[in-house]
Structure 1
Amino acid sequence: MTQEMQKGKHQLGALTGANKRDHFYELHYQTGEIARLYILADGIFRYYLDPTKHFDDNHAAFIDFSEFDHSAFEESQARATSDSLIIKAGNYQLIFQQRPSIMSVFDDNLHRTRFVQGQPLLLGDSQTTEVLKQNKNEFYFGGGLQNGSFSHKGKRLNIKRDHITGNGGVITQVPFFWSNAGFGELRNTLRPGVYDFGADEGRSISLTHDTALFDNIYILADSPSELIQKYYDLTGKPIMLPKYALELGHVGNFLTTYWKPAAAKERNADSFEDGSYYVRTTNPDEAAGRASLNGEETFQFSARAMIDRYAANHFHLGWMVPNYGQEADETALATFNDYANNQNVASGTWMGQAAGKPVAGTSFVQTNTPFSRAILKDRAELKKLLDRKRPLILADTGVAGSQHQTVLAYGSPSGDWDNIPTQVAGFLGAGLSGQPLVGASVDGTAGGGNAQMAIRDLEWKAFTPILFYISDQGSYSKTPFAYNAKMTRINRAYLALRNRLKNYLYSLMYEAQTGKPIMRPLFLEFPHEQVNYLPQVGHEFMLGENLLIAPIYNGREDANSNSRKDNLYLPDHRTLWIDLFTGEKFVGGRVYNNLSYPLWHLPVFVRGGAIFDQGDRNYVFYPQGKSSIVSYEDGGKTDYMHNHAVTRITSELADSTLKIQIDPKMGNYSGMKTEGPTRLSIMTDGYPDSVQLKINDQTIDLQEYGTIDAFNHAKEGFFYNTNFSWLTEFDQYQPEKQKALQIKLASRDLTDTKIELVIRNFNYGSSTLVHAITDSALRSPKQPTIEPEKTSAHSLTVSWPQVTDEVQIEINGLLYDRIKGKTFTFHELMPHTRYLMRLRYVAGNKVSEWSDPFGAITKRPQLDYAVKDIRVDSSLPSKDEFPLAYLTDLKTASEWQTAKSVSDEEPLVLTFTFAEAEKLSRMVYVPRLIDKLGDPLEVAIETSVDGENFTPYGERIAWKADNKNKVIGLRNLTAKAIRLKVFKSEGDCVSAREIMFFRAK
């Protein structure tokens, strides 16, 4: 505490008094501060401490407090005890302890404390900190889109945009977090902050912002969706997308991109309509043509030609931005807009903060500006142009409240495997932070060239809210037809699948208004399994409640050159999971390994009980237990809240009897269909006994048809199809079809028709859910071991005497299945973590007894030994977008570049100074991934024990320009500072993703 006082900080003093004013409670403290407590609504409280006592409600721009009346405050009651002030508001008691002055909230309904401060507020001239106690089973979410993280327990988050799109970067600055204990906090500030969820001390969390004001809103609710919905009450609901935004988009620069002739064998060469190959160039003198909007230069390089190219390759392009990063001539842009709209392509315009108005024909705007006056101006102008159609703004960054005005759509520089799990976790974190509408460009922006990675990236992103490419930012083209015909067909199939799921996605967007994310971490659907809260499953996600997507995110292949998938977790042992493409059934509650997926096959699983609306009253059922959906539709107008319709569909399978009910369509909007037929495709394992139909409680005879042709020509009836597929675009890859009961109902008034179906002797998946039988004839394993020489920070290798072809291994209570042979390596484990295991043999549906427990601890991660908080000085200036701070931030996703080139006469001198003398083992230089630009070629090292006097360390070193890390051994060297000199580099700058120094272990 003395040290904090010396820094000009002090703890909030004892509570000395309180008054009830007109609209708030006024709290007085011994150290002179006055705070105000506002009861904004049920479960929403604002605690505002202003050392200046001005209490300006408009110091931050993302909460409109005028939206809240004073009824909740007026109904509250206060009472004093010998040591506390207690304010009763609804079901909550806000307890302000006098000495020390800490706050807690008690829930009368649950009879437990929701949260409690661990110490009084720490106040300073430019910083405030709140400390909360942390419970063992408490997990934390929010903080905006934090790349690579959705669950933050034990982590430190920066609440500050840094524009780093890779792992560890922060895309949006959202000072909002919440806990599964049922509370959240929103700091009403635009200033950056740091949230430490136990990275330093596991028993508490520390929440700091760079402001002397402590203006904090506490949110209390019984579920994650209620917490997020209350966040929307404060900052605004997410926008509702126009339907075209769910279609494929293309973003490009058709203004300043030059093309030069190239040989077909060049990896980044594109074939054009004139039969020749071209690559991009930045040198106009070697160019054969320049891009344009309408063909003002060379037509085949124009934005119009790109629209035609999508159509020629049989891809429907839903929307396009032709001037990415550039301001365009208004007349040319309006002409392009007219052409695009005639081709049923929504035309967007890139606009910077200082840009003018969107021109005629513009459907939406793309910007690099966060929520601000510029966004509001663009939105107002779009509303004028669109005549009641929904305005759309795509932004590559955001702040609290952005979801009310913009969609988060950004691009990472390189298309690489690491981006996939990083983006999955980041998207999940965005949804949990109140931004459910998010997307990232397929295959990055500037990197590329890995066809397998590009295909796998599009496959999982076909299940995200926004799907698009950003091209013309690097040497490789980014389109779904950039590679060979085989890969183009796969992309086309996934885009057709996305179109089939458009109604499902659209309904999820409407659900998002109530606080339910579109992309969901597993714990939102399966909250009672602790593993679902952990980063271990952060590379998977639920799309709504019915689809689980587990992206392929590495290049590991099996003997057949198919992607090998391990560590795939399917939740809940009572849930049936069905492979969307093959129909293979899996039981939940275990981790699957040794799975094989050819390039066309993404691991996508349908949850038992799922119901899908393909549009036009065409439904697909995967019956299990009781389930329901509410299918949403509207006319695409602004006032969707009052102009829409919903249809409720329920399914219940019990005792081999399936009951399905489709309620009348409720609601109305302009252009709504009120009459039409209904089709149902019900997945089944066998032929049912009978199908009974009631329409508005009247029994209807339903005829059975014996052939698919007869059924297709009938107006009403049913057909048992043993060769069924509702994903016809994938039939070319999956010759084995599935079984389904297909039912067709004639056209009726949909607003006044209740449909009830009863199907008897119905079975689907019941045999899959039968659990294994312990067989005493199978002896239990006696000698499973962990191979210490193969243990790393993220992996353990287990071996055992082989008795059966397959074993199961339980790790920390989680069952790992389909493990074959006599040895297996578990990847993606947490570093420095104890893993307790048991192993048993598997023979068909029989298993042995478990082995005795065994286990090991994974090693510490290498970064634990890296020197932190290094001061670095450079003899050359850095580019604004690649600052020097990125060189030692221990984030390999960030990049640093000099603004000048180097030479023997003027080398780059980088001086790294440590907080204290360090005993080192090595220095590691991490080059950029996209290309070789800036890679050092000749370097030298100097060392210093005092930080002032330097001595050469060896001779000059020659490095190759490639993407491999460069290591300089510094074994047993003790230094206060290190100097790196770069005399020669690739290109006109020096660059690095990171330079790290490691301590001796």
Structure 2
Amino acid sequence: MKFHKRFALAALSAATSLGTVVTAMPVTIQAEEVNSNAISKVEKGSKDNVINVTFADGNQGRITFLEESIFRYNIDPTKQFSKYATDSGTAKIQAQPDESGTYTHPAASIAEDDAKFTISCGTTKIEFSKTDGKMTVKSGDKTVMQEKEPLILSPSGTAQKLVSNEGEDFYGGGTQNGRFVHTGESISISNTNNWTDGGVASPNPFYWSTNGYGVLRNTFKPGTYDFGKTTDGTVSAQHEEREFDAYYFVSGADEKAQVSKDLLQDYFKVTGNPVLLPEYAFYLGHLNCYNRDSWDTTGSKGWTIKGSEPSTSAGTTLYENGMASGYILPEGTHAESLNGVKPTVNADKFKAADAPLEYSARAVIDRYQANDMPFGWFLPNDGYGCGYGQNGYDQSGGTEAERQASLDANLQNLHDFTEYANAHGVSTGLWTQSNLSPIASEKQQLVRDFRGEVNTGGITTLKTDVAWVGSGYTFGLNGIKTAYDIVTGDVSTRPNIVTLDGWAGTQRYGAIWTGDQYGGNWEYIRFHIPTYIGQSLSGNPNIGSDMDGIFGGAPIIATRDYQWKTFTTTMLDMDGWGSYVKSPYTHGDPYTGISRMYLKLKAQLMPYIYTSAASAANIEFGKDGTGNNDQGLPMIRAMMLADDSDYAA
């Protein structure tokens, strides 16, 4: 293979604390020198749908047709041609292996002339230049993709450079905050945990072109996709690994709407259909910590609620103390809790005087109902150092029997809360900052057992945190797959998983959340609109964010956020970190009344929303999906998916 001397890639820097902004650092890759990219031979492989490509320098490539419009192109210097990305662990990018009966495996043929080899499969043709190995892909007579330079492979990375045509636009890349059309721009396919405009929260190594092709790089390594920012007329897609492995999707359609449908369907064929979330997931969710702090009528942080009173009223203010991991309840204080009860097992170190119901998670459910606000799910442990019970309070170590007794009591506490929530039409779940199975070194009240939380505690929702899946890539995908398998396997229920640091394949298990962001300004709303559209065009229709952010906030922004996000998928009231209580009844009228009206509108629209969700999950309801000719299209749709006019563009 002929290699360029150097090229730059983005290297991942892990976030070390909540809210840390991490940027991609340039890494210079020194390429090795070898002879040429010339192709010496193209021949049938072991099966009719497999074609082997031999380069003059001895390197081996392989083309595998899964469908006429889907093929895999792999050049592996080790010649192992692994089924999956090498560090994939238990979770895979693909929903099934290439040899699965899910695919038709159509036969391919080979033709040759003086200048090129041509591999044909139905209407798809792949041409390889004999002299330099450059690839051209056609649908019928239409050229949909063309390599501008020979593939670049080095010990540290690979790059493919393609021709970018006039009028061609590019989409994909996952959660690229504030962006969805990438033409003339460069995007990072790496977990930067930069959650602001221009940052990346859940990258996806999948992009597609309105010219009629899509590319899914089968890798968990970071990368950079440049769509003409550095060199006009050139697309450069780079990843930090030596092997080149990619799935290609081909559409011969002329209309952008049909191209997008074709390519998204092919992407789902390889990586799996998006999950259909349970109905309650499309209602508002409330998240906060209710097992750590103390409360009073005076204190360090005042939280005011005005309900349906005028916004000019004083409202009711309660004060919270602690609000940090490691906080120990002082003797005689009023403890927060899930159910308004004190712990009873291994509770010698629990010195709080009581756990009043008014400071409990149950009281929050009561307030939503008292203010006539529909909401669907509740996470009562969303905060560092917050469990779901206080049995074994501040106890380290202990015997196995003591630890198990504390865990059992806390699981029962969670069960009691779930029972109360369910009776009020609310489902429960947990935020996860740590391992899903018990760790003996943890304080007893913080020990987790996800299987017990599902089977005993009754939860069906899981939201991940950067402290748990912050490395992303295989780690994040493995984590949510584990949670998904437990809920679906143990209690036969579709879970509501909301995750950060997703990747290709995440859509099979759950929704994407855009990260911890500051509310209180119009920009917060502005950059979410393209973010949501872009993630939807990247193959995951289930995306959401915190209402008016986790930090900061302002009444007018909060109200506008409830209004427009009524027409989106996932809405999270992430409470306890901002300038006020993050709930729709906080600011008083007119804000409360407007937010109530829109949340009720969402409830009224739920049959329509759920039908749209079923379409987005690629579920078949006869020939036309739901009957709206929109099977496989996301719930939040770019205008071009329905309108090819210049106006929509």
Partners of 1:511 and 1:323 in 2: CA distance? 33
The residue correspondences of 1:502-581 to structure 2 (distance < 5 A) are 502-512=606-616, 513=618, 514-529=631-646, 532-533=648-649
Deviations 1:647-667 (A, max 9, x none): xxxxxxxxxxxxxxxxxxxxx
Q: Which residue of the other structure, out of 154, 157, 162, is the alignment partner of 2:192?
A: 162
Q: CA deviation at 1:532?
A: 3.7
- For residue 447 of structure 1, what is the aligned residue in structure 2? 552
Give the aligned partner of residue 295 of structure 2.
259
- Could you tell me which amino acid in structure 1 is paired with residue 531 of structure 2? G
Map of 1:593-612 to 2, 5 A cutoff? none
- Larger C-alpha radius of gyration, 1 or 2? 1
CA contact (8 A) 2:541 2:634 kept: yes
What is the total number of aligned residue pairs between the two structures?
527
Query: Would you say the 8 A contact 2:32–2:155 is kept in 1?
Result: yes
Shift of 1:269: 3.5
Letter in 2 for 1:154: G
Residue in 2 that maps onto 1:98: 130
Change (3 A) 1:103 1:452: same
Matched, 1:366 2:463: yes
Residues 271 and 278 of structure 1 are in contact (CA less than 8 Å); yes or no, is this contact kept in structure 2? no
Which of 3, 6, 29 matches 1:4? 6
Residue 481, structure 1, aligned to residue 541, structure 2 = no
Contact 1:227/1:515 (<8 A) preserved: no
Deviation at 1:279, TM superposition (A): 3.5
* Partner of residue 376 from structure 1, selected from 469, 481, 497: 481
Counterpart residue number, 1:236: 272
Q: Which has the higher contact order (CA 8 A, sep 6+)?
A: 2
CA distance in 2, matches of 1:500, 1:349: 27
How do 1:901-916 residues align onto structure 2 when only pairs under 5 Å count?
A: none
CA change 1:66–1:327 in 2 (3 A) is: farther
Say whether residues 1:289 and 2:334 are aligned partners. yes
Structure 1 counterpart of 2:422: 341
Alpha-carbon shift at residue 247 of structure 1 (Å): 1.7
The answer to whether the aligner puts 1:331 opposite 2:412 as a matched pair is yes
Q: Matched residues in 1 for 2:420 and 2:74: separation?
A: 54
* Cα RMSD after superposing both structures: 2.6
Q: CA deviation at 1:510?
A: 1.5
The equivalent of 1:46 in structure 2 is 72
Residue pairs, 1:827-976, within 5 angstroms: none
* Structure having the larger proportion of residues in strand: 1
Counterpart of 1:383, as a letter, is T
Picking from 231, 249, 270, the partner of 1:219 is 249
The alignment-based identity, stated in percent, is: 30
The secondary structure found in structure 2 opposite 1:174 is strand
The answer as to 2:219 corresponding to 1:189 is: yes
Question: Structure 1 CA distance, aligned partners of 2:486 and 2:78?
Answer: 39
> Which residue number in structure 2 is paired with residue 85 of structure 1?
117
**Matched residues in 1 for 2:99 and 2:508: separation?**
15
| Equivalent residue number for residue 122 of structure 1 | 152
TM-score normalized by structure 1?
Answer: 0.50
**Residue deviations 1:460-485 (CA, integer Å, cap 9, x gap):** 11110112211112442100011012
Map Cα deviations across residues 201-223 of structure 1 (whole Å, 9 max, x no partner). 11111000000010011101232
Distance 2:644 2:219 in 1: 31
Change in Cα spacing, 1:394 to 1:164, as seen in structure 2 (3 Å) is same
Alpha-carbon shift at residue 497 of structure 1 (Å): 1.2
Provide the rounded CA distance (Å) in 1 between the counterparts of 2:102 and 2:299.
72
CA contact (8 A) 2:296 2:319 kept: yes
Instruction: Name the SS for the 2:552 alignment partner.
Output: coil
Give the conservation status (yes or no) of the 8 Å contact 1:437–1:465. Answer: yes
**CA shift at 1:308, angstroms?**
0.5
- Give the equivalent residue in structure 1 for 2:371: 313
1:244 shift after superposition: 1.5
Rounded Cα–Cα distance in structure 1 between residues aligned with 2:294 and 2:648: 48
Please report how far the alpha carbon of residue 390 of structure 1 lies from its aligned counterpart in structure 2 after TM superposition: 2.1
The Cα of 1:25 is off from its aligned counterpart by 1.2
Change (3 A) 1:134 1:303: same
1:764-803 counterparts in 2 under 5 A? none
Alignment partner of 2:138: what SS?
Answer: strand
The one-letter code matched in structure 2 to 1:123 is: L
Q: SS at 1:175's partner residue? A: strand
Counterpart Cα distance in 1 of 2:306 and 2:105 = 68
Superimposed CA distance per residue, residues 234-275 of structure 1 (whole angstroms, 9 cap, x where no aligned partner): 1110111211122221111112244354599x9854479xx9
Q: Is residue 425 from structure 1 mapped to residue 506 from structure 2 by the alignment?
A: no
Report the equivalent of 1:298.
Answer: 356
The answer to whether the 8 Å contact 1:10/1:123 transfers is no
Q: Distance in 1 between matches of 2:282 and 2:4?
A: 57
CA distance 1:490–1:288, change in 2 (3 Å): farther
Per-residue deviation at 1:433? 0.3
Cross-structure match for 1:137 = 167
Q: What are the Cα deviations for residues 551-573 of structure 1, in whole angstroms up to 9, with x where unaligned?
A: xxxxxxxxxxxxxxxxxxxxxxx
Letter in 1 for 2:6: E
- SS state at 1:389 partner: coil
| CA-CA distance at 1:161 after TM superposition | 1.7
TM-score normalised to the size of structure 2? 0.77
Whichever residue aligns with residue 387 of structure 2, its letter is: E
Contact 2:224 2:239 in 1 (8 A): yes
8 Å contact kept, 1:72–1:89: no
8 A contact 2:152–2:159 mirrored in 1:
yes
User: Which residue of the other structure, out of 54, 58, 62, is the alignment partner of 1:36?
Assistant: 62
Q: Aligned residue for 1:897?
A: none
| Residue 413 (structure 2) pairs with residue 390 (structure 1) | no
Aligned to 1:229, the other structure's residue is in SS state helix
The verdict on how the C-alpha distance between 1:40 and 1:367 changes in structure 2, with shifts beyond 3 A counting, is: same
Paired AA for residue 173 in structure 1: P
Report the AA paired with residue 516 of structure 1: L
Superposed CA deviations along residues 308-333 of structure 1, whole A, max 9, x for unmatched, are 01011111221111111443232211
Q: What is the DSSP-based 3-state SS (H/G/I as helix, E as strand, rest coil) of the residue aligned with 1:114?
A: strand
Alignment-mate amino acid for residue 237 of structure 1: N
Q: Is structure 2 residue 235 aligned with structure 1 residue 205?
A: yes
Shift of 1:376: 2.6
